[in-house]
Amino acid sequence: MDELHHECGVAALYCLADKPGPSGVWSGDPDQVSRLMPRMLLDLQNRGQLAAGMTTYNPGRDQLLSTYKEIGTVIEAFRINHPGKFASIMEEYAGRAAIGHTRYATCGPTTRSYAQPFERRHGCKWKWFAFAYNGQLTNFTDLRQQLLQNHDYHLTRENDTEVILHYLAHEMRGDDRPDLVEVFRRLSRKFEGAYNLAFLNATGEMVVSRDPTGLRPMCYAADGRAFAAASESVVLQNLGFRDIRSLEPGELVLVRDGEVSVHRYAEHRRVSHCFFEWIYFANVASTLDDRSVYLSRSRLGRELARQEEELGRVPLDPAETVVVPVPDTGKAAADAMAFALGIPSVEGLIRNRYIGRTFIEGSNRADRVRAKFTPLREVLSGKRVLLVEDSIVRSTTLKSLLHHLRDQGGAKEVHVRVACPPILAPCFYGIDMSTVKELFAPKFMAGKVPTVAEQDAMAADLGADSLFYLPVDAVARCIGLPEDRLCRACVTADYPTADGRRLYSLALANQTTAAGGRTYEAGAAAEQPLVCTVRT
């Protein structure tokens, strides 16, 4: 509801021309397999809507690597609604391998130069490469300062993607063709935080890697002549792949000389999958690390129902009380909650999926809510509503929505139920909530577990009749993973990396000062200026 932004989605695709077979995924000309990339990126649109792009490899053209990227959604960037222009792009950038990217930006420039993939051209084929990146380097400022102080570098962007570009290029130096597994192993000793990469060079080598903590998901599959990887399994499933696997933290897939191999490139660390992927970010049809997103959200709904019965604060008369999901991520939890309670789950809020991004951003918050959601007065009027929300981060949009439900929908009461614990700490791993100040719950909570009185105070501030969150222990139980394999830093303040813990200390200090900007831009030293940058 607070339009929380995940930074991007990554995809990779390769036609292994010398493999036997036709494949169920691709049986055509190897140099045309890149035509599937826009389709893959459409299935990653939930992870980024500001820009989209791809880099393709074709040994039969002068530009062995060629990058196309533009501002806008995938449909806008690739001109999919203009068949002639789309066909021209597909023909010009045709290749037997491709990497792709969809992007969000939280602040800073929204220009094409920040869109991905990033390409580094060079006369030596194995030094000519492109890459797409998902995550956030928590030691970005330290790495950037090292480049500026120890080398004669000129950096043109305030983001960690350009820093990664230079560190990759540095690892390619010398006269001998490098072992890419060793390249990524050395980088893993320098990089901290979340970083999934799709890499492609002008010799046709491809690498898809997942960071050692496994914060962001990465899936891959092979079928005859076709290999593909993506941030979410639904992308590969929709292409026709059957045997889809999650890349383990600290592993990479190498495609070289027509062979696909999996390698461990980084030492074992504390594995910490971001729980927010299951409850909010990922497509509901995806399976991440062998855990279904849909089933996880359904179990969250059953937990909400159990809590509702224990609380006993709202009469559960099917004639007067309805469950309403906040579209779209709240629906699976809302349906499961309503079924368990024996009351109706109704689509009391209809989301307008055809409002353009620019139109919404150009309105004030109340107008954005009215443009985006239409309350159905026919099913809400005079009803007691249990409004199921996936999470509350900043609360500003939710306040407008609650007013809209009463004013336009005619709801008699609105009780907010959140299928997530309170967000009380920032994320430094690629989600755009980087300061304590911007978060809703910490303003009301004395500890890490909200009391009934504190939740009542939150409800009053929002304009709800009541508010209840799920407890922290419900998260691991519903996802089906042990607590020690999940990153729950935003609800526990327990960060899986040293840099995360350092940045949280800085965020707490900034909470009581006039310091502005995003916490992670403070870097290694709090006395450095805080600046707003784009994260990719």
Convert the pLDDT of each residue in 249-284 to its tens digit.
999 999 999 999 999 999 878 999 999 999 999 999
Query: For residue 156, what pLDDT band results from cuts at 50, 70 and 90?
Result: confident
pLDDT, residue 433, reads 83
Question: Are 113 and 231 in the same domain?
Answer: yes
The more confident residue out of 159 and 65 is 65
Per residue in 1-13, pLDDT tens? Answer: 445 555 689 999 9
Q: How confident is the model at residue 351 (pLDDT cuts 50, 70, 90)?
A: confident
The reply to whether 497 falls in a domain is no
In a shared domain, residues 248 and 299? no
List, for residues 94-115, the tens digit of each pLDDT value.
999 999 999 976 444 678 888 9
* Same domain assignment for residues 32 and 80: yes
Categorize the per-residue pLDDT at 434 as very low, low, confident or very high, splitting at 50, 70 and 90. confident
Look at residues 295, 175, 128, 275 and name the one whose alpha carbon lies nearest to residue 216.
275
Does some domain include residue 278?
no
228 with 311, same domain?
no
Sheet of 413-418, strands arranged across: 321-325, 384-389, 413-418, 466-469
What is the number of structural domains in the chain?
Answer: 2
Q: Are residues 244 and 335 in the same domain?
A: no
Strand-by-strand arrangement of the 51-57 sheet: 65-71, 51-57, 97-103, 8-15, 226-230, 219-223, 245-246
Confidence at 21, pLDDT banded by 50, 70, 90: low
CATH at residue 378 = 3.40.50.2020
pLDDT(526) > 50: no
Q: Which two tokens stand for residue 199?
A: 């890499």
In a domain, 331, yes or no: yes
Confirm if 236 and 43 have CB atoms less than 8 A apart. no
End of a domain among 241, 272, 303? 272
Q: Is residue 47 part of a domain?
A: yes
pLDDT above 60: residue 361: no
> What is the mean predicted confidence (pLDDT) over 290-306?
98
Q: Are residues 370 and 267 in the same domain?
A: no
Confidence of residue 530 (pLDDT cuts 50, 70, 90): very low
**In a domain? residue 388:** yes
Distance CA 360, CA 353 (A): 11
Over residues 181-239, the pLDDT tens digits come to 999 999 999 999 999 999 999 999 999 999 999 999 999 999 988 999 999 999 999 99
Strand partners, 318: none
Is residue 519's pLDDT more than 60? no
Flag whether 186 is in a domain: no
Does 402 lie in the same domain as 361? yes
Q: How confident is the model at residue 127 (pLDDT cuts 50, 70, 90)?
A: very high
Confidence tier at 534 by pLDDT (50, 70, 90): very low
Please write down the HEC assignment for all residues of 361-403. Answer: HCCCHHHHHHHHEEECHHHHCCCEEEEEECCCCCCHHHHHHHH
Give the pLDDT of residue 26.
85
228 in the same domain as 358: no
For residue 248, what pLDDT is reported? 97
| 478 a catalytic residue | no
Question: Which pLDDT value is given to residue 104?
Answer: 79
Higher pLDDT, 33 or 365: 33
**242/356: higher pLDDT:** 242
Mean pLDDT rounded to a whole number for the chain: 90
Same domain, 331 and 373: yes
Which residue range(s) make up the domain with 379?
Answer: 294-479
268 and 311 part of one domain:
no
**222 shares its domain with 314:** no
333 and 249 in a common domain: no
* Structure confidence at residue 529 as a pLDDT band (50, 70, 90): very low
Q: Are 196 and 187 in contact (CB under 8 A)?
A: no
Please tell me the predicted confidence (pLDDT) of residue 175: 92
Give SS3 for 194: strand
Among 3-7, 126-130, 326-330, 478-482, which stretch is predicted with the lowest mean pLDDT? 3-7
Model pLDDT, residue 282:
93
Domain of 204: which CATH number? 3.60.20.10
Q: Is residue 464 part of a domain?
A: yes
Residue 179 counted as domain residue: no
